[in-house]
């Protein structure tokens, strides 16, 4: 059986050869080029990658060396990963939207002599920091556009490298040499280095080995019953552990087809055309999709709007129970069936979810309403918890055991332990072998008995046996009166409102809780249009009194929900403000995975925080911003601050049930 | 410096020349006794204050207006007037100051429309969309898709252009002109009404068209920064009269040009 064979293949190149034998003429990769989906079978991919590997070797890439991979999800970049692994070299994918400095840090730290890049944009970025990267000798590019006037001494086209290798492979001795190279690869060799996104300071290079990666992926492939008939759309950053695991590793182990979108902007329509059967989206993307659907429904005709709201109500009542296989009455089933014909199926089709069998979300807490919405229309959306050091999975929800506020029980062969300070520790088959060139940090991240410290605080829910994550262990703070203050918990309560995009909660070592937030320009902008609120920029809309009124209602509601929970009643929000600019990864306020960098923000917005706590009604702030092309500018504003009523803690009457 | 394999364009041979052209509408003189030439492979800018006769000049070149006097020589052939379809068949394409697209059609169909001249199968075959007509359409679609990729407008392929923002409409219009595979591309204020970012993108595309396809470009533009960065040579008109002709650097120092733009104290 296929899965037994994977036990023999302990590196990805060996797995590729196995797939070419087992699934030879089945699609391995698709990419939309010139408006048409192009397909490569496993056999073709093997041939290409072999030629590419030989070509790279001719350019001097050797076992143990690193090669940076910079760009969007394109077949040739995935093949660059495969070709490097075939030679025993270690690919180091880098976030393609990183600014030059961030690229420079990773490439310098990884000591990359080679870089496989997507296009001119990435080459420009690397050349702008070339003097800080003395080791970088050659860039191999996919897209030749705009490069005609460049000095080609340090540049090579991928096509040329592959052609070169193909010519060399005409000599059987070269083929035999390559076979020997593949056979010489050991499962314990590093197979890839993934740099963490830097939520907790500078990013670290997580070294993963082939054997462990394949073991982890084999477990989840069985867990979710994935096989060679599945299809996934690779639209999340190549450098992120999620993409490498869900698409690359699982694709190799299960032999399924990975489709690459035409461009980042077309991912939505490509999703619809490809109709994947395995899908992953961070909560943020799901939220964005739902917001878009809701906005378009607001603009639809009366009949359509009524139909939509009625059947969404039906789905809310019965959908999840039907999906979970629980008993539902005849009328419920009939209504849901009708709704499926009229609304759910067409809606899923528009969103590209028609064929999705397994969908996951992770990375952040997901709003219960949001989660329920997708499940109620029949999308098998589940949650998982993981991190780069684990090679993604630590826990995952099995089919039929789905809760919006848990992340599921431990995955097969994963051991989890909760430390005394509440930190989650795990030991898993896919766990990393160490941080690249940083033994001290590696030792710090491990317990003496070989468990990895996740840095997240959590506990096992007694009722379901699932793990619940509340916050980063080191972020859980206390107010001056000793009340527990988990900032993320409070932020998430607010972020579940579609009008609110980003929230920063403050309160550790202070007397009370305050929040600074970003409105969602799409949702609030559309609301403004319908309510004749005129605005010229984000800043103007954010400062509008009517917008403040609207957000005030949301915050008051969040307070009521906090008050309902005895432990959290003391951490209600007393004051809030709407920031004059959107938090942005280019300004260092968010990580590349769009997580808030609290410490940095506290420093940058110090005048606002001071004003929040000294009772001022407004405050002046000016901040430096970085534009997409790297230039800098200053934004100044006067930001208003509002007070919110604190709700009394929940009366001890308690609700029924 | 051009990449090996790219089209070799020898800048220097005269592609089009305008000699002593005069054009008037009733008593209003739009262009008077203007002569200049456009060389193969160059980017030639036509600048001047409002009402200088720039757009009239472009209209004369592609045959939309017939000058009362003067001659136009295109690819060695001299005519007293150029008719629009001669211009199009001869390889002159243009974009308009105010976007002139089919607003109800998709971006793809608009660009496809630019291929009409290159389609040879007769109307009935095309109506049937069968056999040779289909093969021809597929071939043209391939060219159009290359243009779509070149201009990075994949995500709006199926969007009716009326729904697109102005900057993208301009890009689609450029795409339609490119679909004719022109030898000479006339751009009438390609960056008008754009913000800095859109202007930079558009400049990039203009340079890429010139470099990648070797297309000769004549453009009218008001943004002096853009003109100075893009063009090889500049001709300056004022009140229908040519007042200067030369490289961008020469124009910057030319007193007549400075006076025309800034006005003179009387």
**B chain contacts of residue A148, beta-carbon cutoff 8 Å:** 1-3, 6, 211-212
- pLDDT tens string A345-365: 999 999 999 999 999 999 877
A220, HSE (Cβ side, Cα atoms, 13 Å): 32
CA triplet B220, B177, B24: central angle to 5 degrees? 45
Neighbours of A202 (CB within 10 A): 10
Tell me whether residues B145 and A265 touch, CB distance under 8 A: no
The whole-angstrom distance between A149's CA and the closest CA on chain B is 6
Cβ pair A514, A506 in contact under 8 A: yes
- Residue B264: the pLDDT is 67
- Residue B266: the pLDDT is 59
What is the layout of strands, in order, in the sheet containing A618-626?
Answer: A500-506, A513-519, A573-578, A632-643, A618-626
**Residue B150 touches partner A, C-beta closer than 8 Å:** yes
- Residue A381: the pLDDT is 94
Tell me whether residues B212 and A263 touch, CB distance under 8 A: no
Residue B14 CA, chain-centre distance (Å), reads: 17
Residue (of B38, B41, B44, B43) closest to B17 by Cα position: B38
Return the residue of A nearest to B143 by Cα. Answer: A34
Exposed, middle or buried, A1 (CB in 10 Å: 0-12/13-18/19+)? exposed
| Closest in A35, A145, A265 to B145, CB measured | A35
The whole-angstrom distance between B31's CA and the closest CA on chain A is 38
- Residue of A33, A144, A147, A148 best to disrupt the B interface, most CBs of B under 10 A: A148
C-alpha B8/C-alpha A656 separation (Å) is 83
> Can you list the pairs that A162-165 forms with residues at least 24 positions away whose Cβ atoms lie under 8 Å?
A162/A48, A162/A51, A162/A52, A162/A55, A163/A51, A163/A55, A164/A54, A164/A55, A164/A58, A165/A50, A165/A51, A165/A52, A165/A53, A165/A54, A165/A55, A165/A56, A165/A57, A165/A58
Return the residue of A nearest to B144 by Cα. Answer: A34
- pLDDT tens string B145-195: 999 999 999 999 999 999 998 889 999 999 999 999 999 999 999 988 888
Per-residue exposure over A517-534, b if at least 16 CB sit within 10 Å of its own CB, e if not? bbbbbebbebbbeeeebe
**Residue B1 touches partner A, C-beta closer than 8 Å:** yes
Structure-block tokens of residue B18: 């305008």
The whole-angstrom distance between A33's CA and the closest CA on chain B is 9
Tell me whether residues A148 and B3 touch, CB distance under 8 A: yes
Cβ pair A382, A358 in contact under 8 A: yes
Neighbours of B165 (CB within 10 A): 10
- Residue of B154, B175, B208 best to disrupt the A interface, most CBs of A under 10 A: B154
How many interface pairs between A and B have CB atoms less than 8 angstroms apart?
39
- Residue A382: the pLDDT is 94
Give backbone dihedrals phi and psi of A139, rounded to 5 degrees, phi first.
-115, 130
- Residue A7: the pLDDT is 47
**A chain contacts of residue B211, beta-carbon cutoff 8 Å:** 148-149
* Average pLDDT score, chain A: 89
Return the residue of B nearest to A268 by Cα. Answer: B155
C-alpha A191/C-alpha A212 separation (Å) is 10
| Mean pLDDT to the nearest integer, A265-280 | 92
| Closest in A34, A146, A269 to B142, CB measured | A34
* Average pLDDT score, chain B: 86
- Residue A61: the pLDDT is 95
Tell me whether residues B155 and A149 touch, CB distance under 8 A: no
C-alpha B106/C-alpha A616 separation (Å) is 54
- Residue A650: the pLDDT is 59
| Closest in B145, B154, B212 to A266, CB measured | B154
Return the residue of B nearest to A265 by Cα. Answer: B155
Return the residue of A nearest to B208 by Cα. Answer: A146
Q: Is the pLDDT of residue A197 over 80?
A: no
- pLDDT tens string A506-529: 988 899 999 999 999 988 998 998
Alpha helices in B65-184 (DSSP H): 84-90, 107-113, 123-128, 132-150, 166-179
- pLDDT tens string A141-167: 999 888 888 888 899 999 999 999 999
The whole-angstrom distance between A151's CA and the closest CA on chain B is 10
DSSP 8-state code for residue A642: E
Cβ pair A9, A217 in contact under 8 A: no
Tell me whether residues B150 and A145 touch, CB distance under 8 A: yes
Phi-psi region of A421 (alpha: psi -120 to 50; beta: other; left: phi over 0): alpha
DSSP 8-state code for residue A200: T
pLDDT band at A200 (very low <50, low <70, confident <90, very high): low
Cβ pair B39, B14 in contact under 8 A: yes
Neighbours of A166 (CB within 10 A): 16
B22-81 residues touching A, CB cutoff 8 A: none
- Residue B142: the pLDDT is 92
**B chain contacts of residue A265, beta-carbon cutoff 8 Å:** 154-155
Tell me whether residues A147 and B3 touch, CB distance under 8 A: yes
Tell me whether residues A149 and B211 touch, CB distance under 8 A: yes
| Mean pLDDT to the nearest integer, B8-20 | 75
C-alpha A406/C-alpha A395 separation (Å) is 10
Neighbours of A444 (CB within 10 A): 10
């Amino acid at each position: 059986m296929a899965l037994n064979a994977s036990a023999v293949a302990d590196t990805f190149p060996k797995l590729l050869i196995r797939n070419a034998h087992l699934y030879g003429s089945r699609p391995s990769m698709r990419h939309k080029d010139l408006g048409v989906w192009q397909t490569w079978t496993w056999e073709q991919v093997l041939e290409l990658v072999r030629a590419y590997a030989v070509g790279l070797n001719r350019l001097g890439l050797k076992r143990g060396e690193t090669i940076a991979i910079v760009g969007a999800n394109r077949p040739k970049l995935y093949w660059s990963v495969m070709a490097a692994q075939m030679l025993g070299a270690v690919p180091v994918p880098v976030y393609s939207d990183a600014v030059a400095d961030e690229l420079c840090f990773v490439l310098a730290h990884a000591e990359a002599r080679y870089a496989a890049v997507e296009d001119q944009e990435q080459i420009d970025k690397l050349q702008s920091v070339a003097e800080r990267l003395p080791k970088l000798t050659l860039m191999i590019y996919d897209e030749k556009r705009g490069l005609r006037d460049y000095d080609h001494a340090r540049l090579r086209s991928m096509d040329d490298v592959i052609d070169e290798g193909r010519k060399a492979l005409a000599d059987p001795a070269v083929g035999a040499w390559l076979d020997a190279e593949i056979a010489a690869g050991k499962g314990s060799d590093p197979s890839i280095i993934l740099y963490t996104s830097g939520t907790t300071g500078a990013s670290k290079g997580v070294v993963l080995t082939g054997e462990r990666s394949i073991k982890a992926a084999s477990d989840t492939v069985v867990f979710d019953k994935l096989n060679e008939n599945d299809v996934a759309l690779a639209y999340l950053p190549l450098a992120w552990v999620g993409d490498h695991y869900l698409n690359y590793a699982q694709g190799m182990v299960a032999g399924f087809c990975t489709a690459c979108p035409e461009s980042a902007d077309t991912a939505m329509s490509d999703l619809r055309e490809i109709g994947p059967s395995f899908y992953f989206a961070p909560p943020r993307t799901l939220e964005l999709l739902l917001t878009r659907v809701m906005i378009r429904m607001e603009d639809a005709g009366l009949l359509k709007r009524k139909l939509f709201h009625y059947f969404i109500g039906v789905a809310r009542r019965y959908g999840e129970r039907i999906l979970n296989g629980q008993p539902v009455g005849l009328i419920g089933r009939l209504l849901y069936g009708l709704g499926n014909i009229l609304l759910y199926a067409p809606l899923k089709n528009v969103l590209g979810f028609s064929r999705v069998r397994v969908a996951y979300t992770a990375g952040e807490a997901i709003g219960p309403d949001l989660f329920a919405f997708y499940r109620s229309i029949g999308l098998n959306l589940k949650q998982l918890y993981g991190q780069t050091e684990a090679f993604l999975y630590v826990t995952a929800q099995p089919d039929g055991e789905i809760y919006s506020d848990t992340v599921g029980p431990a995955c097969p062969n994963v051991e989890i332990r909760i430390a005394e300070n509440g930190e989650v520790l795990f030991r898993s088959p896919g766990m990393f072998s160490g941080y690249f060139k940083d033994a001290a940090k590696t030792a710090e991240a491990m317990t003496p008995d070989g468990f990895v410290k996740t840095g997240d605080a959590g506990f096992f829910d007694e009722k379901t046996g699932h793990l619940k994550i509340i916050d980063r262990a080191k972020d859980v703070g206390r107010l001056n009166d000793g009340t527990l203050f988990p900032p993320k918990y409070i932020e998430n309560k607010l972020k579940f409102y579609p009008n609110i995009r980003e929230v920063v909660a403050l309160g550790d070592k202070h007397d009370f809780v305050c929040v600074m937030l970003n409105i969602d320009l799409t949702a609030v902008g559309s609301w403004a249009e319908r309510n004749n609120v005129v605005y010229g920029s984000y800043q103007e809309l954010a400062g509008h009194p009517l917008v403040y009124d609207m957000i005030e209602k949301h915050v008051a509601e969040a307070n009521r929900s906090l008050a309902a929970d005895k432990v959290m009643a003391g951490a209600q929000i007393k004051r809030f403000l709407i920031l004059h600019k959107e938090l942005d990864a280019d300004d260092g306020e968010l990580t590349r995975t769009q997580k808030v960098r609290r410490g940095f923000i506290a420093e940058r917005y110090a005048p606002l925080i001071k004003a929040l706590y000294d009772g001022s009604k407004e405050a002046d702030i000016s901040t430096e911003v970085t534009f997409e092309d790297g230039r800098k500018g200053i934004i100044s504003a006067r930001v208003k601050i509002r007070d919110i009523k604190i709700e009394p803690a929940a009366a001890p009457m308690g609700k029924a049930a | 410096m051009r990449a090996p394999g790219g089209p070799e364009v020898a800048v220097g041979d005269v592609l089009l020349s305008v000699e002593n052209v005069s054009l008037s509408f009733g008593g209003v003189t739009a262009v008077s006794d203007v002569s200049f030439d456009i060389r193969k492979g160059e980017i030639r800018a036509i600048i001047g204050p409002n009402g200088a006769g720039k757009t009239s000049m472009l209209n004369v070149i592609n045959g939309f207006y017939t000058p009362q006097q003067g001659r136009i020589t295109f690819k060695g052939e001299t005519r007293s007037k150029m008719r629009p379809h001669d211009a199009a068949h001869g390889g002159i394409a243009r974009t308009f100051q105010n976007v002139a697209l089919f607003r109800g059609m998709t971006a793809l169909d608009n660009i496809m429309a630019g291929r009409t001249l290159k389609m040879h199968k007769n109307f009935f075959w095309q109506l049937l969309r069968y056999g040779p007509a289909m093969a021809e359409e597929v071939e043209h679609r391939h060219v159009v898709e290359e243009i779509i990729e070149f201009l990075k407008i994949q995500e709006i392929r199926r969007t009716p252009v009326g729904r697109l923002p102005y900057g993208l409409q301009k890009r689609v219009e450029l795409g339609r002109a490119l679909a004719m595979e022109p030898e000479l591309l006339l751009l009438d204020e390609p960056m008008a009404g754009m913000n800095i970012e859109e202007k930079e993108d558009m400049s990039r595309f203009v340079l890429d068209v010139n470099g990648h396809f070797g297309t000769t470009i004549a453009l009218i533009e008001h943004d002096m920064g853009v003109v100075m960065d893009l063009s090889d040579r500049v001709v300056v008109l004022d009140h229908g009269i040519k007042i200067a002709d030369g490289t961008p650097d020469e124009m910057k120092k030319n007193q007549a040009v400075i006076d025309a733009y800034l006005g003179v104290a009387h």
